[in-house]
Amino acid sequence: MNSASNHVVISGTGIHQPPHVISNAELVLAFNAYADLQNAEHAEAIAAGERSAIVHSSVEFIEKASGIKQRYVLEKSGVLDPTRMYPRFTERSDEQISLMAEIAVDAARQALAAAGKQASDIDMVLCASANMQRAYPAMAVEIQSALGAGGYGFDMNVACSSATFAIDQAYSAVRSGASKCVLIVNPEITSAHLEWRDRDCHFIFGDVCTALIIERADTATSADQWEILSTKLATQFSNNIRNNFGFMNRAEDSDPLGRDKTFRQEGRKVFKEVVPIAAAHIESHLAALDQKPADVRRFWLHQANLGMNQFIIRKLIGETMGASGSDVAPLILDTYANTASAGSIIAFHEHRADLLAGDLGVICSFGAGYSVGSIIVKKR
Ligand code: CO8
């Protein structure tokens, strides 16, 4: 029966943690070896002032500027090879499951088990990520098939805000009665579209996949349920985080390996512009529910930069947050790095067990677009 007022809960989460860790020390060693090789190869041009030498990276800078100490990746030998500097994946045949679908299925199975659901209970699959492995068929349809889920699936890309925007879609579908039980997966293979040869950004990202089950409260049996009270999304166009890779590259005769075909950003501008947008967004979202930031027991914030989260928390509740995060705003960035859309969901997955019935929480993402999404939840 359709009803415009079904109560909606998040009833399970899951995470695929890739097998390899790259510490800052390993990363910097590889980058500096790459810089030395490049500088030796272009020594004449550098001496003639025709080319700038590549400057070494440093562990101290990375930790101070970002709070990141390590990252997980699906493949590390290619990333750390100074003559390559990107992961080495074996191409799979069309008959094999794709890598993105494989990690999504792993995270999804964990979320299903946590929610006490079968794949056949799912009637909508959203694959929401900052980049898709291919143009089509949709990743979500492959994941639906690999799991044996019903209904339909589609892909969504809102960069770092893909997960919260997908929660909004799932919430609307379940609330309206259009769907009963939605699986959201956020497979982020950022290592394949990060520019590991750029000192300004080579340390920022890591790989992961998160999964969420969102269903009607009256069908949920999980012991751990989070009612979605409200969702709020916003976007504002900016070129400050951009990647021009795409199907037009060939027709434009542009260089498929050009610098603009991987992640690039104006990090300082992003920092300055996105922090106030995110803080104001959360504050106005809570106000619409007659709530104040101080009423919130936990913020599961997007995990891009320690300083950004410190600013947001100071703006919202006046609290000075330490380098390891805080009880009100836990940090996972130090171990996972920025995992694009999955960051706030990893924080939610790992840091919610201690909350009590009635506690209020906010999941919030912010990033490229610009985009910001907030989800207000209450522990049942
Ligand atoms: N080692 C040593 N020194 C360095 C390094 C390094 N690795 N990198 C830069 N420096 C130097 C610079 O050259 C500069 O030197 P100088 O002052 O002499 O010019 C100095 O350090 C300071 O540089 P910055 O001003 O760039 O440093 P910041 O303090 O601003 O820190 C950050 C850089 C960490 C990038 C910071 O600006 C930041 O985090 N900004 C926010 C970024 C952010 O949140 N971006 C979100 C992007 S994610 C997203 O939306 C999803 C996109 C899709 C995913 C893509 C996956 C690949």
Task: Please identify, by atom number, the ligand 1 atom nearest to the C-alpha of residue 338.
Answer: 48
Q: Could you tell me which residues are beta bridge partners of residue 210? A: 15, 186
Which pLDDT score, from 0 to 100, does residue 4 have?
Answer: 63
CATH 3.90.700.10 fits 226-379, yes or no: no
In one letter, which amino acid is 163?
A
Task: Please identify, by atom number, the ligand 1 atom nearest to the C-alpha of residue 307.
Answer: 39
With 0-12 CB in 10 A as exposed, 13-18 as middle and 19+ as buried, what is 40?
Answer: exposed
Sign of CA dihedral 211, 304, 193, 239: positive
- Residue 184 is given by DSSP the state E
Tokens found for residue 169: 């879609």
Task: Please identify, by atom number, the ligand 1 atom nearest to the C-alpha of residue 202.
Answer: 7
Distance 200 CA to ligand 1 centre (A): 5
Which pLDDT score, from 0 to 100, does residue 324 have?
Answer: 87
Name the closest-CA residue to atom 13, ligand 1.
200
Q: What is the CA radius of gyration of the chain?
A: 21
How many angstroms separate the Cα of 248 from the Cα of each of 139, 234, 251, 254, 346? 21, 27, 5, 9, 34
Distance 204 CA to ligand 1 centre (A): 8
Distance, in Å, from the CA atom of 380 to the CA atom of 376, rounded to the nearest integer, reads 13
Distance, in Å, from the CA atom of 119 to the CA atom of 100, rounded to the nearest integer, reads 18
Distance, in Å, from the CA atom of 343 to the CA atom of 351, rounded to the nearest integer, reads 12
> Count of alpha carbons within 13 Å of 40, Cβ hemisphere only?
7
Ligand 1 pocket test, pick from 244, 264, 271 with the greatest ligand atom count within 8 Å of Cβ, gives: 271
Tokens found for residue 312: 């947001």
Cβ atoms of 188 and 341 within 8 Å: the answer is yes
The residues, ordered by sequence, that sit 6+ positions from 60 with a Cβ below 8 Å of its Cβ are: none
Could you tell me how many residues make up the chain? 380
Ligand 1 pocket test, pick from 56, 60, 61, 261 with the greatest ligand atom count within 8 Å of Cβ, gives: 61
- Domains in the chain: boundaries: 226-379
- Angle among Cα 9, 11, 16 to the nearest 5 degrees reads 130
In one letter, which amino acid is 84?
R
Distance 201 CA to ligand 1 centre (A): 6
Task: Please identify, by atom number, the ligand 1 atom nearest to the C-alpha of residue 194.
Answer: 57
Q: φ, ψ for residue 201 (rounded to 5)?
A: -135, 0
Ligand 1 pocket test, pick from 305, 310, 371 with the greatest ligand atom count within 8 Å of Cβ, gives: 305
Task: Please identify, by atom number, the ligand 1 atom nearest to the C-alpha of residue 203.
Answer: 7
Name the closest-CA residue to atom 32, ligand 1.
267
Which pLDDT score, from 0 to 100, does residue 21 have?
Answer: 98
Distance 59 CA to ligand 1 centre (A): 13
What three-state secondary structure class fits 87? coil
Ligand 1 pocket test, pick from 270, 308, 334, 370 with the greatest ligand atom count within 8 Å of Cβ, gives: 270
Instruction: Report the DSSP pairing between strands 124-128 and 181-188.
Output: parallel
Distance, in Å, from the CA atom of 302 to the CA atom of 290, rounded to the nearest integer, reads 24
Q: Which residues line ligand 1 (CB under 6 A)?
A: 57-58, 61-62, 65-66, 130, 159-160, 190, 193-194, 199-200, 203, 205, 241, 263, 265, 267-268, 270-271, 304-305, 308, 338, 340, 367-368
Cβ atoms of 30 and 79 within 8 Å: the answer is yes
In one letter, which amino acid is 270?
V
The residues, ordered by sequence, that sit 6+ positions from 15 with a Cβ below 8 Å of its Cβ are: 107, 110, 208, 209, 210, 211, 346, 349
Cβ atoms of 214 and 171 within 8 Å: the answer is yes
Which pLDDT score, from 0 to 100, does residue 2 have?
Answer: 44
Q: Please count the other Cβ atoms lying within 10 Å of the Cβ belonging to residue 109.
A: 16
Instruction: Report the DSSP pairing between strands 70-73 and 8-16.
Output: unpaired
Name the closest-CA residue to atom 8, ligand 1.
200
pLDDT digit string (tens) for the chain, length 380 residues? 444 689 999 999 999 999 999 999 999 999 999 999 999 999 999 999 999 999 999 999 999 999 999 999 999 999 999 999 999 999 999 999 999 999 999 999 999 999 999 999 999 999 999 999 999 999 999 999 999 999 999 999 999 999 999 999 999 999 999 999 999 999 999 999 999 999 999 999 999 999 999 999 999 999 999 999 999 999 999 999 999 999 999 999 999 899 999 999 999 999 999 999 999 999 999 999 999 999 999 999 999 999 999 999 999 999 899 888 899 999 999 999 999 999 999 999 999 999 999 999 999 999 999 999 999 999 99
Distance, in Å, from the CA atom of 39 to the CA atom of 52, rounded to the nearest integer, reads 9
Helix H or strand E encompassing 313: helix 306-317
Residues labelled as active-site residues: 160
Name the closest-CA residue to atom 42, ligand 1.
267
